Structure 1
Amino acid sequence: MKSTGSTYLRPLMVLLGVVAHMVGPITSCGYTCILWLIWILHLLNFTHLLPPPTPSQFFLCILPTLSLPYLWLFTWIFLIRVQTSRPEAEPKFVRNKATQVMALLFLAEFPEVGPSLLDEVLRIVGLSPAGVDLYLRLLLAIDGELVDRDVLHTAQCDLAIQEMRRNTTVKDGMRERSVPRLVESWLQILYTFQASNAELACLCLEVVGAYVSWIDINLIANERFISLLLGHMSVDVLRESACDCLLEIVSKGMEPRDKMELVESLSQVLEAAGFYNLQQNEDGDFLAHFSKLLCAMGQALLQSWARFGKAGAAPEAAQAFDAARAKLPVMLGLLGHSDDDISLNCCGFCYDYLHTLKQLPDVPDLQKADVEAILLAIIKKLTYDEDFNFENEGEEEVMFLDYRKQLKLLLDKVAQVAPNLLLLSVHRVVTGTLRDWKDCAFGEVELALRLLYLLGEALPAGHCGHFSGDESKASVLQDMVRTVVLSGVSHYQHCAVTLQFFETVVRYDKFFSAEPQHIPEVLVGFLDCRGLRHPNAKVRSRCSYLLSRFVKSLSKQIMPFVEEILCQVQDLLVFSPRVNGLQLALSGEDQLFLYEMAGYLVACGELAVGRKAELLGSLLGPLTAAFPPLLARLSAETDEDRQAALAESLAHAVSFASRTSKAFSSRATVRESGCADVYVACLSAFLPALACPLQRDSIRAALRSFLHRMLVCLDVELLPYLPAALQAMLSRGDTRDVLDAIPLLNQLVGKFKVQVQPLVREVFPVVLTGILGGLRLPVEENDQSAALEKQSIRRAYYTFMLALLTNGLGSIISDQGAMDAEQVLGSVVQGAMEFPDPVAQKMCFTILSRMIETWGGGDALPVFLDFVYKRVVPACFLAPLKPSFDLMDAQTTVALAECALTLKSVFQQRGPELLLFLRQDYLPSLQITPDVAQEFCQVLEQADTKVFKTYLKAFFQRAKS
């Protein structure tokens, strides 16, 4: 029988739609005919020829057959049919989707149909549960389309404006015609279903909370509604929804006096009902909602205080502040609740309260006590739970760490209001805990170290005093750091405590400048089983970074321990491929920090030149010795997993050498240290890997970085290695390889200039072919990633052209064949004119200026002059005249400034010849009057560059207006 209904239902619906079209405009007669057909269908449901259709089937089947003028009428059919259905007969998402369609229909037909549709909905549904469910979901869907910020609306500017105007019109119309009746219906629904159908009552409360933001608050904030909502606060199944509804009422924008009166009246009733005496064992879900409500109430009062203060209403401001402060005791109870979600909800009010105190000229003792109470709650809640999983952090652990960040913001605000209180409180916790740290839980010890760590950011600059070598001048902070170092707490057997210890001592590295005698103790901790050799991999990894920072920040004090540190970390710098499941103490990424630290110790240590070269050689020698055999293994390997592991090891070896070079700021420091030969040996060992076809991407990326570093550190000793390296990098000549090589070429020509002209001349055709080949590739209209890739190709190309011209290598371009040279020149003009990319346009105009300065003088070739007058000068006018050239955009303005410089460059080289061309030939072709053409030429000739830039912008603004 079900299949029969499915077979005949849609034809009957289509027939119904056809009859509706035949009826014509909606008249009383037409409406009567439709109702008769509805009753026939209803009777057929009882003949068992058709099973009763669900409401959404009924409505959605006729939807495709009808035009908009009839859609709203057939919505009524849906409403009539729904009276005999149970709301739970369909999933919620089906009901929501059906009401969303009806809401869109409501908005489309408003104001002609909208109010009458809502009236008919109210009239037809009555108080049937299914009808009320439909009605409430329809109202939520309408609100979602009008004001809900979670709903994704159009991003197009003109459509967004139209949508905003439509929404304003609908809201104004509903306020005028419908809202009072809607409010009465809500009251009726709440009274009817509060005891018999909690789901509908909660849904109605959700509707009230949604609409209260844009309807008259007096319709809701009155005796009838508030007393009803407060009654719901005592009903277990309703009180969470009642809290949310009251939260929306409290959050409604109002005048400060009205808001204060509303919040205070609500507060008095809640207090009288005992809600301010909630216990810790109260239902957590309810407390989560109630804490949000209470926080909003307190914040509303503080906002009223601020607005009263701006208005000069001192008595009202004092009243609002006292009312907000009265909420603090219950708020503090919730802030210290064992449930972090409940506590988090109260952070907003506490933060605003502290911010308010900060604005007061003086904080009385009572309010200082408030700050201390907040601080104590923060300290309590910062502590890790015993069951926190440090080895495998799950969702709960991540949520707690996020919660800790919010508490940190509160701590920062406490520091702004009462820095001395915070400093002394932390001092008390640190000294008290570290005195007996062996008997304390790990959470207490970690908390003491964490609070000390947070002081570095929380306290205002200079408040805690400076670190001094004179004990009589030592600050409280210096005393705490000394206590931490001397306490031996770094031996505590928990990874959280160990990590926090090292984080703290590195944050206060300046302490060790004042008291360097404590450096050995910290270094030993870093180097033994507490740090780099800790059983926990996370601790080892973090300590490798922190030790690098510690050494670099205390370079002078560390110098006596250079060779000892290098000796201690030697076994941790072992270079071995990670194949056959071999796991080293530190990952390759962690070893990078140790290699960088080692390079820094060698470069900055007070050692003899020969000793520095010897130490660096012993550091990098194992890499250069192991690299060729490892490369041979990769070339012979056939298993892809092993290939990847070998390639990773090769890339790490190159990266290790690169990291050691970061300590050398220039080639002078490398030469002075006597270490140049060590890096030349690395070049000899590493560069053959460029020819390896296997796993090429990761290895080549590491080698490119290494070559960039060598261009900084080495001088002419690098040149013999560059031809083979560039030839290998560009051997395939594809676009990707060329793009990867261009930054290296730019750095090369910037450093060596004419010394590398033969080399750059040799690779230039390959670069040109790869770039232009990539630019010719077709791009689909909506393929954004391909479009961005082409943009990056153009920018890289123009950067290379500019580097050649800037460093005196323009002859590489001009010496190309006539066809290639013309192609290059044309591509630059094309970049200035055709692509809406102001960054590239700016570079193109700069390139054109340099070309004109180089080749556009009195002995310029006729071919180039022809190019200047036919292509360059027109580009300076046509590009800014394009619609995509936005003169109000900052980057485009910079491009226009370069355009002005290009015209100035042509004038400086060609003088009256350019003015004659503009006045007689080109400007008239743009329909520019002789007077304006004369004015333009006069400004170009007489004004300085700055004035001409300003004039050119105004010229194009007038032309485009």
Structure 2
Amino acid sequence: MCPFSNSCFSLCSCFSLSLLLFLSLSASAMVYFEQLKESQDAWEVCAEALAKGIYSDDHVKFFCFQVLEHQIKYRHGGLSPAQQQLIRETLMKWLQGQLMNSQPEKPFIRNKAAQVFALTFVMEYLTHWPKFFFDLLSLVGLNPHGVDVYLRTLMAIDAEVVDRDILHSPEEVRRNTLIKDGMREQVIPSLVESWYQILGAYQQSHPEITCQCLEVVGAYVSWIDLNLIANDRFVNLLLSQMSVEDLREEACDCLFEIVNKGMDPTDKTKLVESLCQVLQSAGFFNVDQEEDVDFLAKFSRLVNGMGQSLVLSWTKLAKGGDVKAAAEALRALETKVPLLLQLLVHDDDDISANIVGFCYDYLNVLKQVRYTLLVGNMGEDEAMFVEYRKQLKMLLDRLAQVSPDLLLEAVGRVFNNTIQRWQTASFMEVEVAIRLLYMLGEALPASHGAHFSGDTAKTSALQDMMRTLVSSGLSGYQHTSVSLEFFETVVRYDKFFLVEPQHIPNVLMSFLDHRGLRHSSPKVRSRVAYLFSRFVKTLHKHMNSFIEDILSRIQDLLELAPPENGFPALLTSDDQLFIFETAGVLIVHGESPAERKQALMRSLLTPLTDAFRLLLAKLASEREEERQAALADCLSHAVGFASRTSKAFSNKQTVKQCGCTEVYRDCLQTFLPALSCPVQRGSLRSAVRSFLHRMIICLEEEVLPFVPAASEHMLKDCEAKDLQEFIPLISQITAKFKDQVSPFLQQVFMPLVLAIFEVLCRPAEDNDQAAALEKQMLRRSYFTFIQTITSSGMNEVLANQGVENIKNVERVLFTIIQGAVDFPDPIAQKTCFIILSKLVELWGGKDGMAGFPDFIYKHIVPACFLAPLKPSFDLTDAQTVLTLSECALTLKMIHLRRGPEFIQYLQQEYLPSLQVSPEITQEVCQVLQQPDAKVLKNYMKAFFQRAKL
């Protein structure tokens, strides 16, 4: 029993909390601790001890936090306002003390402190302490000790308010909902901005803090606005941290939580696709080159999450009847299968185990899709057969997990028994036998011979089955499902032919004759056209002696089908694209000299250009609209076919090296007149424009002589959509050729700009949303075009417009100012501020463009302040915050180029004209002169937030 009663417990007593360390292992200490917790005023002593840092002993400090925790958790409602205020002050004073300490507290003390902060937040955020986070952020700034406590507090708040594993009473659930709603409305954008700053500031110096912050982002993303996180700057930052050894695993976990956020299935598909594209571009899909198995395990979990998210999206969209969106989700799923397989066959069990969920889900999707497609067109017996195959696939997968050797033996036995008697077997038996062989590639990992490497016995078994398949004559079986299964399996195991190339001629013939491309079924012909292109891409090195024979045999399949011939073509125009690409691959990758390749490519493309000229002449004189559309469609196909052949070229096999430059120049010469055709302009311009995009890559500078005439035609009688699609072409040329196209750009610049202005100024109905959106997109494209010019170091293009008429330059400059200030479009506004910053850099110095400094002070500086003050400038919107950052950087660039003169102008003229107080004016000028741009960005956000209150 403690000798001190509650009434005499005070600082002036002889009691010393340090004695607790001595008593920590005794039963009496525990009894005493319980008595102190129940005391009415003991907690105040503990509070004062924490606030003043009286004790240095870790156990004593921990004990004080425990007493404080008990008081907040169980007695908070009975405290007076002054006592509640004491708790708040105690916590902030303790935190302030941490900022000044050279060494942080022990982790167990920081964790306990974070719990007490979180409890206080839960009790007081909705009533007495609505500025909890702002007080916390303003105090800790970027002090690492303070940031550590801030992040631990956020995780403790997540545990108290969000964690679904903790059972809450109905009253607590209601309270937590109100807290989250209040946070979303008032502080989440500020918290997200603080996370971004922390992630950027500490990834090199304090990786442990960066990891904590990544954990916070992952925890909070499930219930906050995803757009605050799933944007270019945040995702790019996370991707950069995936390349840092100390951070990459946590960054992967954070992306996993982002992907797992519940959302609309169409939006989820777009999010996952966008993330996958960035990850693939950054090289993270090269699994074979990654040696860090711990990271790969995390990455495998992320891929699993992305895959399962796509499966869920597809399921919801398919059930909802949104066929187009479901098809997009399915295509997205299919593109992830190669990555899925790479991870699934990895030697490390953790990596392969983490992807199994996606694997099973995807197989289930395949079963559903195949069942849906077939059952709709089959009788009852065949529908039952499809269901039988569905069950067979499930059995196969399970057997592969238990005993892959047994599976290989069983499939081999069924396959060989059936193929030996295929002439008399039913189509169902034959198809199942081939399908079993096909399924082995999915069920067995590469280590079991699925890719004809590894275990010799397993490899030999697969080789034997493939040898039997291609030499048995089975390709001639007269049933479409068997024909399709045969070609699917041949291409599935195309690596087999690298091991036994002697079978290639026979299989080639099955592709080319009545069994494949000339099959009686349009469905088989269409699928074989695609599979044939894949087969050739893999094995073209083994086809050199057959190239001209193959080209001769597919010649009739390469003919353009004019609308007046009246005969149904063997292949659709979409199928023909694959055949043209295949022909291009055979020619380009053959071992013939360049002269022969040129001759073969010319013989491939000349029929297209000859037909194009005839059809274009017919179109110009045709008066019936339906026939006009048919002719234009055929002309577009011709251009598309020629473009598709160019896909065969690579860095090693360029157009120039193959001697084919002149051939494609002739194609350009033939196609360009279509741009001036008075009818069906939309489809023709689109086709020729796409071909030009492709030729810029393939022909490089050889394409430049064609650009001026093409541009002149495409700028005549333009609609918004025409211009919007033309600008990327000019931007591509500008970025690729730079100074080489400067004279042309100077010539075409004002005609293009005036055409854009003319379209933007056309009147439209107030409620015509489609027209408004077209104009918005055109305006964005225009600003992007100006940005491309300025960022490519081609400012003379803009500057030289003023040689004949200075008003041209002024007009362009004023549109950029207008785009930055007047249009409530943060994407366009951001681009405009980037342009203005670049122009200030180029022309704003002492030796810059005459008159431009005056333009800076009269227009650019006001734009930087007036735009953020607009009611439409929403500082809680993530995209708008990016715009504000560019606005701040523009001011920074003005200071860099104009120096003290700019500061003097702000102090004496501009800011006073906005009624900004001298104190704030001085503050703005001081921040502008600091070297750290991040400080300026943060300050400007706070400045405008205060200004708009």
TM superposition score normalised by structure 1:
0.55
Deviation at 1:547, TM superposition (A): 1.0
Determine if the alignment matches structure 1 residue 897 to structure 2 residue 885: yes
Question: How far has the Cα of 1:396 moved from its partner?
Answer: 9.4
User: Which aligned pairs between 1:247-286 and structure 2 lie closer than 5 A?
Assistant: none
Over 3 Å counting, the alpha-carbon distance change for 1:650 and 1:880 in structure 2 is same
Q: Give 2:310's aligned residue.
A: none
Q: Is the CA contact (8 Å cut-off) linking 1:873 and 1:903 kept in structure 2?
A: yes
2:609 corresponding residue in structure 1: 624
Match of 1:168 in 2: none
Q: Does 1:635 align with 2:617?
A: no
Do the aligned residues in 2 keep the contact of 1:842 with 1:898 (CA within 8 Å)?
A: yes
Deviations 1:552-600 (A, max 9, x none): 1233333443233222212221234121422222222211111111112
| Compared CA separation, residues 430 and 903, structure 1 to 2 (3 A) | farther
Aligned pairs for 1:1-40 within 5 A: none
Q: Which position in structure 1 is the counterpart of 2:822? A: 834
Residue aligning to 2:426: 441
- Taking the TM superposition and a 5 Å limit, the aligned residue runs for 1:549-568 are 549-568=534-553
Q: Provide the C-alpha distance between the structure 2 equivalents of 1:887 and 1:397, rounded to a whole number of angstroms.
A: 63
- Equivalent residue for 1:879, pick from 849, 863, 867: 867
Q: Deviations over 1:98-145 (max 9, x none)?
A: xxxxxxxxxxxxxxxxxxxxxxxxxxxxxxxxxxxxxxxxxxxxxxxx
Q: Which residue, 810, 816, 819 being the options, matches 2:807?
A: 819
Give the AA of the match of 2:807: M
CA change 1:384–1:622 in 2 (3 A) is: closer
- Partners of 1:876 and 1:899 within 8 A in 2: yes
Distance 1:694 1:801 in 2: 31
Counterpart mapping for 1:771-786 below 5 A: 771-778=756-763, 782-786=767-771
TM-score, normalisation: structure 2: 0.56
Match in the other structure for 2:230: none
Residues 409 and 686 of structure 1: is their aligned pair in 2 closer, same or farther, counting only changes over 3 Å? same
* 2:686 counterpart of 1:691: no
Pair 646,480 (structure 1): closer, same or farther in 2 beyond 3 Å: same
The structural deviation recorded for 1:415 is 7.2
Aligned to 2:741: 756
Q: Equivalents in 2 of 1:565, 1:960: separation in Å?
A: 72
CA shift, 1:717, in A, is 3.4
Give how far 1:782 is off.
4.9
Match of 2:841 among 853, 857, 876: 853
Structure 1: where are the runs of 5+ without partners?
A: 1-160, 166-357, 359-373
Q: Which position in structure 2 is the counterpart of 1:673? A: 658
Query: What is the CA–CA distance in structure 1 between the aligned matches of 2:788 and 2:912, rounded to whole Å?
Result: 36
Give the C-alpha shift of residue 546 in structure 1: 1.3
Distance in 2 separating the partners of 1:542 and 1:767: 44
- Indicate conservation of the 8 Å contact 2:864/2:887, yes or no: yes
- The 10-residue stretch of structure 1 (818-827 or 585-594) with the greater mean CA deviation from structure 2: 818-827
Matches within 5 A, 1:481-492: 481-492=466-477
Q: How far apart are residue 771 of structure 1 and its match?
A: 1.7
Structure 2 gaps of 5+ residues are 1-176, 182-343, 345-359
Aligned to 1:802: 787
Identify the residue that residue 579 of structure 2 maps to in structure 1. Answer: 594
**How far, CA to CA, are the matches of 2:812 and 2:908 in structure 1?**
29
Which residue is 1:603 aligned to? 588
C-alpha displacement of 1:498: 0.9
Does 1:655 find its partner at 2:640? yes
Q: Return the offset for 1:678.
A: 0.8
Does structure 2 conserve the Cα–Cα contact (< 8 Å) formed by 1:382 and 1:404?
Answer: no
Deviation at 1:945, TM superposition (A): 3.3
Q: In the superposition, relative to structure 1, how do residues 959 and 679 fare at CA in structure 2: closer, same or farther (>3 Å)?
A: same
Cα 1:777–1:461 change in 2 (3 A) is farther
Measure how far apart 1:734 and its partner are. Answer: 4.0
TM-superposed deviation, 1:668: 7.8
* 1:658 Cα offset (Å): 0.9
- 1:181 matched to which residue of 2? none
- Structure 2 equivalent of residue 507 of structure 1: 492
**CA gap 1:774/1:528 in 2 versus in 1, 3 angstroms:** same
CA 927–646 in structure 1, closer or farther in 2 if over 3 Å, else same: same
State the shift of 1:425 in Å: 5.1
Aligned ranges for residues 335-354 of structure 1 at < 5 Å?
Answer: none
Note the C-alpha offset of 1:532: 0.8
SS of 1:673 mapped into structure 2: coil
Instruction: Spell out the pairing of 1:292-441 with structure 2 (5 A cutoff).
Output: 393=377, 414=398, 417-418=401-402, 420=404, 426-441=411-426
Tell me by how many angstroms 1:923 deviates.
Answer: 3.5
Identify which of structures 1 and 2 has the higher relative contact order when contacts are C-alpha pairs closer than 8 Å and 6+ apart: 2
* Paired residue type of 2:816: V
C-alpha separation between the residues in 2 aligned to 1:934 and 1:481? 81
Q: State the match for 2:482 in structure 1.
A: 497
Determine which of 487, 495, 517 is the counterpart of 1:532.
Answer: 517
Q: Residue in 2 aligned with 1:920?
A: 908
Letter in 2 for 1:907: H
Which of 679, 682, 692 lines up with 1:707 in the alignment? Answer: 692
Does the residue aligned with 1:671 lie in a helix, a strand or coil?
Answer: coil
Counterparts of 1:538 and 1:694 in 2: how far apart (Å)?
34
Q: Secondary structure at the match of 2:566?
A: coil
Change over 3 Å in CA distance of 1:639–1:885 after alignment to 2: same
* TM-aligned CA distance change 1:389 to 1:853, over 3 Å: closer
Aligned-pair CA distance for 1:431: 3.5
How many angstroms apart in 1 are the aligned matches of 2:882 and 2:490?
A: 47
| Cα offsets for 1:480-521 (capped at 9, x unmatched) | 434433333221111111112212222222232333233222
Offset of residue 772 of structure 1: 2.0
Amino acid at match of 1:808: G
Q: Does 1:523 align with 2:511?
A: no
Of 844, 847, 862, the match for 2:832: 844
Partner amino acid for 1:641? E
Secondary structure in 1 matching 2:520: coil
1: CA distance between counterparts of 2:382 and 2:835?
A: 52
Q: Distance in 2 between matches of 1:409 and 1:797?
A: 54
**Is 2:447–2:453's contact at 8 Å kept on the other side of the alignment?**
no
CA drift of 1:927 comes to 4.8
Check whether the contact 1:465–1:475 (CA below 8 A) recurs between aligned residues: no
The more displaced of 856-865 and 686-695 is 856-865
Conserved? CA contact 2:842–2:848, under 8 Å: no
- Cα distance in 2 for partners of 1:732, 1:830 equals 26
Q: Counterparts of 2:780 and 2:730 in 1: how far apart (Å)? A: 14
The answer for the alignment partner of 1:135 in structure 2 is none
Residue matched to 1:61: none
Are the aligned partners of 1:666 and 1:712 in contact in 2 as well (CA < 8 Å)? no
Alignment partner of 1:630: what SS?
Answer: helix
CA displacement 1:384-418 (0-9 Å, x = unmatched): 99x9979x948999999998998799579747854
Distance 1:399 1:899 in 2: 63
Percent identity (aligned): 52
Secondary structure of the residue aligned to 2:608 is: helix
Give the direction of change, closer, same or farther, for the CA distance of 1:415–1:944 in structure 2 (3 Å limit): farther
- 2:283 maps to none
- Asked if the contact 1:665–1:712 (Cα under 8 Å) also holds between the matched residues in 2, the reply is no
Contact in 1 for aligned 2:422/2:474 (Cα 8 Å): yes
What residue is the counterpart of 1:583 in the other structure?
568
- The Cα of 1:859 is off from its aligned counterpart by 2.9
- Is contact 1:411-1:458 (8 Å) kept? no
* Closer, same or farther: CA 940–561 of 1 in aligned 2, 3 Å: farther
Cα drift, residue 627 of structure 1: 2.5
- Tell me the C-alpha RMSD between the 2 structures: 4.0
**Residues 382 and 955 of structure 1: is their aligned pair in 2 closer, same or farther, counting only changes over 3 Å?**
closer
The reply on whether 1:746 has 2:746 as its aligned counterpart is no
How far is 1:531 from its partner? Answer: 0.9
Q: Give distance in 1, aligned partners of 2:846 and 2:784.
A: 28
Identify if the C-alpha distance between structure 1 residues 813 and 393 changes in structure 2 by more than 3 Å, giving closer, same or farther.
Answer: farther
